[in-house]
Structure 1
Amino acid sequence: MRKTAVITGAGRRFGFELAKALLTEGYQLFAHYNSSRDGIDELEALGAQGVQADFTNIDSIQAMVRTISSATDSVDLLVNNASCFFDNETVDNDNNALAAVFQVHGMAPYLLISGLQRQLSHSGNGLVINITDIYADRPSTDYIAYCAAKAGLANMTQAFAKSLAPSVRVNAIQPGPILFLPEHDKEHRMQVLDETPLRVEGGLEPMIETVRFLRDNPFITGESIKVDGGRGLMI
């Protein structure tokens, strides 16, 4: 039977590449996006169903849950990948940015996991993967709110793993320097790589392979796996 996946933040970077990989494997895919449709048209052309939702709005998240619930009785994989990344100065001067950090990384995953619990349980091997961060364990003082929100998502991972077992497994992936942003200059990149034991930019394939590993190993729940080239050892 065809498997079903839901990916939040599916229009770019890891979410986009994971979505393409799962579509290639034959999944029915719900690809979430907020305001930008970058990448979504391509995913829809490959067979995905785009689902718009503003994760700072409870009604919008609940509408997304209703859309998915009305379209399928079963969800095999939910990947909470959507993110917003603001430093202290930004959230200190913009209350909306501060609220968004906790809404996108906390409220939205909570509502999606709770709202799709029946579909996840119905699959017989439902899996939730939350994308957290290596800084959830050792926070950066430059991104206090972001790190706190990701730490909350890490805690939520363990709590849902306990409460939804045995019908649904819940795990997390903690990425490190997998793919630099365009605004990262050469000096920044070299500094990060110098502080990473494996000294390479990981790319997105190791993240995708970790999703497959968690999917294909039925005896793992409540775990967080670092995919960071060892950088978590150094921060």
Structure 2
Amino acid sequence: MDSFSYKNIHPVVLVTGGALRIGAGIAELFHCRGFDVLISFNQSNDAAAKLVEKFNTVRPDSAHSLRANLAFPDEVSVLAQKALAWKGHIDILINNASSFYPTPFELTKQEEWDELIGSNLRGAYFLAKAISSSIKNRQGSIVNLVDTHSDRPLANYPVYSIAKAGLKAMTKSLAIELGPSVRTNGVSPGAILWPPSLEDSEDPQVLKRREEVLARIPMKALGDISDITETVYFLACSARYITGQVIKVDGGRSLGPTN
């Protein structure tokens, strides 16, 4: 454990969307480094239960999960109340939960706007608001999982891109609103895990599309979940003089075309 953990003998981290993929990796790293871990999930009940069981086998009563759809304000409020009740405090909030699907401009529906803005931005904002007093009291921090598409919008995903751009702006705003007691930073992952549409490694079209993606990355490779989790942990626990920053972990993809 680092200096943050020594100051707070039983530090607690809340990871939204913490049951799968990058969220699960973040939860696991914090748990390995001595944190009690609370994960929220929406539909991934089985994955959340297995992860919590794994953590509690290593260290009893060190993990817990709560279901919440962050697109619904009432569920955000209940999540905050239950999260604070678990151990009596929250030291670190990792806003990782996210919905991601296309919304071509001419076909965008109001409910899609509400769901994408709610899960990616509004929920994160009001969850932070609800537990900010505890984070302040613990001299903790907030880390938001943004996206490289907050700067370079993804075609046919305008609402998602807008939501992530808002989350980036929120990161900077909360650094001002909550400082100096709370540091707020963000991480913008690039290509770390293939999306479901590119998971079939036996499909020639999928392989071709993968090659096209990698060709646009100076590092010519996908990142690893650990590249994200270690950056999140650094910003949350070690970067005592960094706030209001969004770190891109994308192998240089955001630099633009490589040829």
TM over 0.5: yes
**Distance across 2 between alignment mates of 1:16 and 1:179:** 13
How far does the alpha carbon of each residue in 1:125-166 deviate from its partner, in whole angstroms, 9 at most, with x for none? x11000111111121232111111100010011100001001
Asked if residue 226 in structure 1 is aligned to residue 248 in structure 2, the reply is yes
- C-alpha distance after superposition, 1:73-118 (max 9, x if no partner): 4322111001111212399354322211100111101111100011
One-letter amino acid matched to 1:9? G
| Residue among 42, 51, 60 paired with 2:50 | 42
Deviations 1:157-189 (A, max 9, x none): 110000100100000000100111242121221
CA 1:38/1:234 → structure 2, altered by over 3 Å: closer, same or farther? farther
* Structure 1 SS opposite 2:191: coil
Q: Which amino acid aligns with 1:56?
A: A
Percent of residue pairs identical? 30
* TM-score, structure 2 as length reference: 0.86
Q: Report SS of the residue matched to 1:225.
A: strand
Which residue is 1:120 aligned to? 135
2:6 maps to none
- Could you tell which deviates more after superposition, 209-218 or 164-173? 209-218
Q: What does 1:1-235 align with in structure 2 at a 5 Å threshold?
A: 1-45=9-53, 46-47=55-56, 48-89=63-104, 92=107, 94-124=109-139, 126-184=140-198, 185-214=206-235, 215-234=237-256
- CA spacing shift, 1:90–1:39, aligned 2, 3 Å: farther
Shifted more, 31-40 versus 166-175: the winner is 31-40
Q: Distance in 2 between matches of 1:91 and 1:201?
A: 32
For 1:2, give the aligned amino acid.
H
CA distance in 2, matches of 1:145, 1:26: 37
Q: Which moved more, 1:212-221 or 1:148-157?
A: 212-221
| Residue type at the aligned position of 1:231 | R
- After superposition, what is the alpha-carbon deviation per residue over 1:35-89, rounded to whole angstroms, capped at 9, x for unaligned? 2214211221113201111112111110001101222343221110011112123
What one-letter code is carried by the residue in structure 1 that aligns with 2:79? M
The amino acid that maps onto 1:195 is: R
CA 1:67–1:91 in 2, change beyond 3 Å: closer, same or farther? farther
Q: State the one-letter code of the partner of 2:52.
A: E
* Other structure's SS at 2:161 match: helix
Residue aligned with 2:197, SS: coil
In 2, the alpha carbon distance for the partners of 1:199 and 1:51 equals 38
Shift of 1:232: 0.5
Structure 1 stretches of at least 4 aligned residues deviating more than 6 Å after TM superposition: none
CA contact (8 A) 1:86 1:97 kept: no
Larger-Rg structure: 2
| Alignment-mate amino acid for residue 187 of structure 2 | I
Structure 1: which 5+ runs fail to align? none
Secondary structure at 1:49 match in 2: strand
Asked if the contact 1:17–1:204 (Cα under 8 Å) also holds between the matched residues in 2, the reply is yes
**Number of residue equivalences:** 234
Return the letter of the residue paired with 1:13. R
Report the Cα distance in structure 2 between the residues aligned to 1:112 and 1:151, rounded to whole angstroms: 18
Q: Which amino acid is the alignment partner of residue 178 of structure 1?
A: I
| 170-179 vs 66-75, greater mean Cα deviation | 66-75
- Over the aligned positions, Cα root-mean-square deviation in angstroms equals 1.6
